[in-house]
């Protein structure tokens, strides 16, 4: 079916934004690096091992900086590399101001930073302020006695009258979020593992100490942070029970049985975020604050903060969470665009270390369309390592499971190991990741989907990503330009990106059957996810094959 899109839907949108257009275009030309830039997430255990222990490390990342520069990303965000017992693979930190020996040393980190900066790559660290490891010296001290000077760094409560946990808050990894401490006769709160006690962010000392951590890394030269579970930092002062979730059903994680109304997203959290932002701003204004936030759009956008003094980028996971069809995605994008505060810069994430990979969710052919979407929507994109070569989730035999979530709630598909397997570099042993047995299995199809193999193929996923990244870099319209809606039709999600005279029409067929759509004007194809269609002129209907995405330049 060929649907003709009404020019009205385009111009309506233009009408509503036109007043702002002139003013914003002047500002946008000086867009900060993170608005034009593309972020690449590295899960350090799985990126590149350099010392033959089967676990990735900083030296390994240093050795791959040339690859990242060649690929054309602008910043790397590295999941936690600090000393940790690894109960949650680094999201349980025992020392915020050092590097875990498994990953290297502070000197290695400084070399990584220098090497990245020399290549024009920014470096973002993962900051995990909601909880420490239970082996952190603060917690070791805090649990000694009720009178410990560190006691109030964490969240302690007396038992309920029946002796049970103080309230019904669940741990995200299963079971109660309250752990009984025999020595001091109180419970402590942990939103995740019991090895990850939550810090008490109502305590000014916690704030001071943690802001010092930020300064420690900012002084070394890091370009910003991705803040773990930002919306969790403050809990209800009265610790009220969470209400039941009427929509919970089998197949959903157990902690979703209640709505985390009182355990997260409390109004006071915004003061903390603004304080973190102020610390970054002490360093001149181009350090980036990203918040990991899983919330509905209208709540998510509150994390930009009053007068945009909160997170620069509250991570938007709605491409991960939304049903993959044109109607749902179009609606999400429009709702997001409409919900953004004035001047708030959007962002999009397609995969991460906590969710199934995009190739596993939509299939490898459709993942190419997803790549085009990620890199042409308005907003900073985040690419998860390996998605650029089409890595798939890997089945993990039970005896090789590592993820504490899977170990605690087994067999229900919540495990995160499948999307954390080693990066596939080449066709040598262990896909070039390590000379030793890797901590997680290598994908069985690693030889076909590796950097080395795909570099040689002009139509590989890697070549597609590289072309998209290069195009985005040279195009103001695609990087910082306006987004304008064009009504989608059937399986085709489409939109315009515009900057001055430069206008692109993007049409994405989200289904494995051919489709067609009529662009608002004549245009010339400049890129397709499936064929060499460059220079093809579109006078009327734009025909798309199954799983095809197209970028077309509008004729003036
Ligand atoms: C979110 C992180 O992305 C996830 O990997 C971790 O398990 C939890 N936060 C706890 O830190």
Question: For 166, which DSSP code?
Answer: S
- Would strands 482-485 and 492-499 be described as parallel, antiparallel, or unpaired? antiparallel
pLDDT at 28: 57
Residues 128 and 152 in one domain: no
181 catalytically annotated: no
d(CA 173, CA 210) in angstroms, rounded, equals 25
Q: Which two tokens stand for residue 342?
A: 């004035």
Element spanning 42, H or E = strand 39-42
Assigned domain for 53 exists = yes
pLDDT at 8: 33
Q: How far is the CA of 466 from the centre of ligand 1 (A)?
A: 29
Residues 348 and 457 in one domain: yes
Mean of the per-residue pLDDT values of the chain: 94
What angle in degrees, to the nearest 10, is found between the helix axes of 204-220 and 269-281? 30
Confidence label for 3 from pLDDT (cuts 50, 70 and 90): very low
pTM of the predicted structure, to 2 decimals:
0.95
Determine what percent of the chain is predicted with pLDDT higher than 70.
95
Residues 314 and 301 in one domain: yes
pLDDT at 16: 31
Residue from 405, 414, 418 nearest 193 by CA: 405
Of the ranges 23-32, 168-177, 218-227, 359-368, which one carries the lowest mean pLDDT score?
23-32
**What are the tens digits of pLDDT across the range 379-396?**
999 999 999 999 999 999
Per this entry, what is the length of the chain? 556
Domain edge (last residue) among 452, 469, 486:
469
pLDDT at 2: 44
pLDDT at 556: 75
Residues 324 and 215 in one domain: yes
Judged against a pLDDT cut of 90, whether residue 25 lies above it is answered with: no
> What count of other Cβ atoms lies within 10 Å of the Cβ of residue 115?
17
CA atoms within 13 A on the CB side of 357: 29
Q: Helix, strand, coil: what percent of the chain each, to 5?
A: 35, 15, 50
Residues 166 and 298 in one domain: no
Domain extent, residue 147, equals 137-189
> What count of other Cβ atoms lies within 10 Å of the Cβ of residue 219?
9
> How far from chain centre, in Å, is Cα 90?
17
Confidence label for 29 from pLDDT (cuts 50, 70 and 90): low
498 catalytically annotated: no
Judged against a pLDDT cut of 50, whether residue 6 lies above it is answered with: no
**What are the tens digits of pLDDT across the range 493-543?**
999 999 999 999 999 999 999 999 999 999 999 999 998 999 999 999 999
Assigned domain for 285 exists = yes
Domain tally, the chain: 2
The position carrying tokens 């397997």 is 421
Judged against a pLDDT cut of 60, whether residue 9 lies above it is answered with: no
Assigned domain for 532 exists = no
d(CA 103, CA 109) in angstroms, rounded, equals 9
CATH of the domain at 307: 3.20.20.80
Residues 327 and 216 in one domain: yes
Q: How far is the CA of 49 from the centre of ligand 1 (A)?
A: 22
Residues having CB closer than 6 A to ligand 1 are 88, 91, 128, 192, 228-229, 292, 353-354
What angle in degrees, to the nearest 10, is found between the helix axes of 461-474 and 364-376? 10
Residues 209 and 155 in one domain: no
Assigned domain for 373 exists = yes
pLDDT at 30: 84
Assigned domain for 514 exists = no
Probe target for ligand 1 pocket from 88, 134, 263, 356, with the most ligand atoms within 8 Å of CB: 88
pLDDT at 531: 87
Residues 290 and 185 in one domain: no
Q: How far is the CA of 94 from the centre of ligand 1 (A)?
A: 15
Assigned domain for 177 exists = yes
Assigned domain for 490 exists = no
pLDDT at 110: 98
Judged against a pLDDT cut of 80, whether residue 57 lies above it is answered with: yes
């Amino acid at each position: 079916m060929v649907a003709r899109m009404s020019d009205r839907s385009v111009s309506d949108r233009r009408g509503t934004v036109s007043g702002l257009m002139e003013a914003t275009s002047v500002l946008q030309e000086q867009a900060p690096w993170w608005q034009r830039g593309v972020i690449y997430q590295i899960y350090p255990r799985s990126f590149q091992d350099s010392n033959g222990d089967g676990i990735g490390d900083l030296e390994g990342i240093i050795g791959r900086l040339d690859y990242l520069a060649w690929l054309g990303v602008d910043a790397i965000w590295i999941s936690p590399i600090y000393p940790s017992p690894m109960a949650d693979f680094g999201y349980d930190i025992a020392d915020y101001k050092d590097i875990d020996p498994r990953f290297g040393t502070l000197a290695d980190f400084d070399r990584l930073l220098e090497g990245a900066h020399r290549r024009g790559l920014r470096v973002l660290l993962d900051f995990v302020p909601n909880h420490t490891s239970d082996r952190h010296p603060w917690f070791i001290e805090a649990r000694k006695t009720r009178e410990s000077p560190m006691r109030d760094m964490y969240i302690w409560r007396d038992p309920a009258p029946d002796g049970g946990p103080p309230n019904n808050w669940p741990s995200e990894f299963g079971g109660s979020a309250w752990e009984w401490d025999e020595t001091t006769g109180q419970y402590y709160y942990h939103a995740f593992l019991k090895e990850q006690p939550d810090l008490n962010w109502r305590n000014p000392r916690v704030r001071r100490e943690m802001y010092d951590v930020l300064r420690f890394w900012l002084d070394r030269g890091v370009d910003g942070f991705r803040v773990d579970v930002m919306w969790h930092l403050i809990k209800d002062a009265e610790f009220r029970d969470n209400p039941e979730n009427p929509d919970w059903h089998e197949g959903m994680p157990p902690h979703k049985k209640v709505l985390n109304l009182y355990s997260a997203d409390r109004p006071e959290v915004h003061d903390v975020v603004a304080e973190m932002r102020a610390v970054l701003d002490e360093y001149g204004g181009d350090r980036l604050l990203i918040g990991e936030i899983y919330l509905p759009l209208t709540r998510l956008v509150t994390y930009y903060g009053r007068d945009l003094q909160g997170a620069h980028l509250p991570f938007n996971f709605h491409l991960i969470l939304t049903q993959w069809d044109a109607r749902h995605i179009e609606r999400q994008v429009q709702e997001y665009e409409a919900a953004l505060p004035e001047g708030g810069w959007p962002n999009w994430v397609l995969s991460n270390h906590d969710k199934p990979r995009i190739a596993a969710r939509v299939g490898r052919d459709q993942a190419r369309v997803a790549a085009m979407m990620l890199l042409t929507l308005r907003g900073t994109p985040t690419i998860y390592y390996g998605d650029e070569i089409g890595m798939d989730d890997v089945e993990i035999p039970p005896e090789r499971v590592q993820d504490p979530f899977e170990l605690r709630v087994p067999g229900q598909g919540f495990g995160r190991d499948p999307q954390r397997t080693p990066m596939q570099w080449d066709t040598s042993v262990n896909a070039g990741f390590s000379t030793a047995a890797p901590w997680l299995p290598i994908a069985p199809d690693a030889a076909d989907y590796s950097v080395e193999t795909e570099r040689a193929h002009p139509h590989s996923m890697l070549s597609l990503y590289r072309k998209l990244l290069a195009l985005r870099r040279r195009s103001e319209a695609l990087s910082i330009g306006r987004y304008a809606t064009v009504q989608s039709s059937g399986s085709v999600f489409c939109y315009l990106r515009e900057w001055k005279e430069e206008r692109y029409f993007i049409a994405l067929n989200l289904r494995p059957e051919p489709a067609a759509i009529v662009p608002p004007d004549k245009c010339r194809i400049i890129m397709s996810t499936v064929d060499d269609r460059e220079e093809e002129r579109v006078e009327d209907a734009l025909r798309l094959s199954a799983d095809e995405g197209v970028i077309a330049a509008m004729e003036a």
